Structure 1
Amino acid sequence: MRNDKQHYQEGFFVFDIPTFNERVVREAILNAVSHRNYQFGGSVFIRQFRDRLVVESPGGLPFGITLDNILDRQLPRNRRIAEILSLCGMVERSGQGMNLMFELSVQEAKALPDFTGTDDYFVNVTLSGVILDKEMLSVIRRISENDSEMLSTEDFLTINALYHAHPLTEKMQSRLGRLTDMGIVEHIGRKKYVLARSLYAATGKTGVHTRRVGLDRETNKELLLKHIRQNNAVGTPFKELQQVLPGLSRNQIQVLVRELKEDGKVFCKGRTHAAKWYVTK
């Protein structure tokens, strides 16, 4: 009764997303019960606010577990409790509860679980109920339709970082090749990667892709060059180039195409409205 639903629309369809994902909340509580230090007094507290839920458990993180490796290492402090929870069917994937929390947060376009306030005496995890970007939901939905079961936690974190233009860790960078092969990520030059334009095109949000790319001058030129190359057999009219970078004016795109021409990378056949651009071979 205290778990509101948020709505977002995609085309003619309206989808509901609960403010608090029950699976994420359950995993957070199970972790608190099975990993807390029972030598410490005190209880596990669950505090619910309108936009977030905070789970606090006594004892700090188990020995050998840090916030840097919490998704990679599984070391239950109370193994018997963890085994009982598993036998009762309360743990969906043995040892993967924390990973599930992060994956579902990305899939619902919410902030990742936040461990701010965790120390040697308490573990604090805050679960956000706020959808950060409803446009991201359309992109994630497109990915999940075909590839969600093939993606690892690190894949989801990489997708999340790319969408929000966050720096990539070394682990995330190691996933770029695979995600590129899957068509989720595209390489646009100078070691720069972005989520594939096709993910936005399928949802009618190519303008969002343009804004997310980072759009410095060289990046814009790389996007134009890539589009011209993909259509080199038939040529690319200028109007089509305007669709590649809808955030730029006609004059701005003309300047970029002129620079590509001066660099010897493209050339034009025809005049006025019949003109088409090709990549120099």
Structure 2
Amino acid sequence: MENLELLVSELCKHKEELPWLEFKRDNYNPDMIGADISALANAAALDERNFAYFLWGIDDETHEIVGTEHNLQNLKIGNQELENWLRGSLSANADFEYNLIDIEGVKVGILKICCAVHTPVTFKKLEYIRVGSYTKKLMDCPALQSRLWNRLHNKRYEEMLARQDVTLDDVLKILDYNTYFELTKVPQPDSRESIVHYLKEDGCIVQNDNGLYAITNMGAVLLANKLTDFSKLARKALRIIQYDGNNRLHMLREDISKKGYASEFEHLLKYIEALTPTEERIGDDGLRDKTVAYPELAIREIVANALVHQDFTVSGTGPTIEIFANRIEIINSGIPLVDIKRIVDNPPKSRNEKLASLMRRFRICEELGTGWDKIVMACEMLKLPAPKIELYDDSTKVTLFSAVKFSNLSLEDKLWAVYLHACVMHIQGEQLTNSSLRNRFDLPSTSAGSISRLIKEAVNKNLIKPLDPTTSNKYMKYIPVWA
């Protein structure tokens, strides 16, 4: 812990003890300390604070610094060090740090306790909570117990701290606040305090109990000038890898983003575009026309989705874009919160709601649930194979394919394209027909028979169904099976 004197000074300004703050002179009763750590950790989570504090050497009534005669780390219970005994008696999600410092010629002990995560912190298998300045068993306070569990279930990764004890000057050095104001279209204030005010309001930073600042995971992952400034987030940098050919045998180049997602998003898209093939043709009017291998809109939406909807709790990995001669694969940790067969029409659902909301205000992504509609329609306009979604144990891969002849598509890929075509037609108030599907695959009217067989197979696979089964085959229209 840094700036401990400043922390003690700020905590002593409180007029009374709080559910997340305890003062003692020299009471080192082991069971009292253990129960209080449980209670303070749980109270901090309930009050949506990252830390709670237990201070020795402070008068619990006047909050004056009077000093303590003991050092927690030197005390024992039996033959075991008290600190080790406490850790062994507390649940695995209990975390704390102890420091003894000199203030005004006397000793002050500071126990900084992390808030409970996932489940309440227990001491000797019992859960405790603070009610005012009193420590009580959580089971005896059912209303607080219910509220605590609700808080623990809704604790968001974006709100957790990526870096603590940062001065105002360092906040403005570490975070790309210019991009923040540029993307939000808010006029940039002249004063540093006003700049920090906006960053606090949007949850990019919080003010610590010692008066300094902490940068949240959201602030860091979106606006970091250097992601390497945050040890736990460095692996969340976006990797872009280009290969020679259609396999991973020969890597041509690799680029790892250095800045936060919002700060570098447009640059990353231009970099991806530069690595994908394009062709310029001179039209009949003499003007140059650029033909791209992949729709820019689809790439933008898929990359934005991968960044926003990734599961940040999966450690050791970050979003990756791999560019091959015939496809682009975008991989992110976590799996979608919606059934992939309903990904086109379902309302939006994000595991990172605050991050998604701010990215929407940055106009980088949507929260309207229309991203996949655009992806599918963009691929259809260029007559490309349907984008493919593959789920693994803890990751999702989306693949965009360059142009492939209809005859070279696998039956699985054809059926997936049929299903997605039916979905986008349905949300537009239209239906899939033999003609619309031929147009989607860029096939002539002579292919009507093969398309009819493909439609029949899609019906048999329970992907689509007739809008009106009594209609003659020539005029039959189809909708998704869920419609």
Under TM normalisation by the shorter chain, which class is it? Answer: 0.3 to 0.5
Q: Which is higher, the Rg of structure 1 or of structure 2? A: 2
Which one has the bigger strand percentage? 2
Larger RCO (CA within 8 A; separation ≥ 6)? 1
TM-score (norm 1): 0.48
